[in-house]
Amino acid sequence: MRITIRQEDFNSMLAHALRERPDEACGLIAGYDREDGVREIDRVYLLTNTDHTNEHFTIDPKEQLRAIKDMRANGLKPLGNWHSHPESPSRPSEEDKRLANDSRASYLILSLMDAKHPVLNAFHIENTDAGKTVRKEEVIIIMEENGNG
């Protein structure tokens, strides 16, 4: 799966994550599953981590509800969620895997381990008989100037 995000949306996600440090930041993503198989993020929601720690996140359910209603009002599909890893790499932790309960979702992780070179990866996490399986998705950041990744 390829997943696209506009540069400006990536920038706002990054700014939110930097602002929230040392805590983890989090939010939702919404957009479209295109016929060519590309998952297109059209809107990034910057939401509150009610855990307020650098080791966990829980998306505020009231904000989650507002975001879901906004997606519906704008004809957008819920595509998954995102969170930051302020001090660790951009890959799902055991807890991330355990709590990933939607096999249709894309789980985006923004690592700030090297804040000058943030890393954004997306993952598909599925429940199988063998446990949780993780597959990396290709993230393409769409530049604003020419519309190409």
C-alpha span between 144 and 38 (Å, rounded)? 18
Quick check: 28 binds other proteins (CB under 8 A)? Answer: yes
The count of other CB atoms within 10 Å of the CB of residue 134 is 14
Total residues at interface with other proteins (CB under 8 A) = 31
- Least separation in angstroms between residue 35's CB and other proteins is 23
Could you identify the residue written with the tokens 């949780």?
Answer: 132
Q: Give the residue from 77, 80, 76, 64 showing the smallest Cα distance to 121.
A: 80
For other proteins, the closer CB: 37 or 117: 117
Choose the binding region for other proteins from 2-10, 51-59, 128-136, 137-145 (rule: CB under 8 A). 51-59
- Least separation in angstroms between residue 86's CB and other proteins is 7
Choose the binding region for other proteins from 2-10, 23-31, 32-40, 130-138 (rule: CB under 8 A). 23-31
Quick check: 100 binds other proteins (CB under 8 A)? Answer: yes
C-alpha span between 124 and 103 (Å, rounded)? 7
Out of 34, 52, 72, 135, name the contact with other proteins by CB under 8 A: 72
Encode 63-96: b = buried (16+ Cβ within 10 Å), e = exposed: bbeebeeebeeeebebbbbbbbbbeeebebeeeb
Quick check: 92 binds other proteins (CB under 8 A)? Answer: yes
Quick check: 96 binds other proteins (CB under 8 A)? Answer: yes
Task: List the end-to-end C-alpha distance of the chain, in Å, as a whole number.
Answer: 15
- Interface residue list for other proteins (CB under 8 A): 24, 26, 28, 51, 54-59, 61-62, 64-65, 68, 72, 81, 83, 85-88, 92-93, 95-96, 99-102, 107
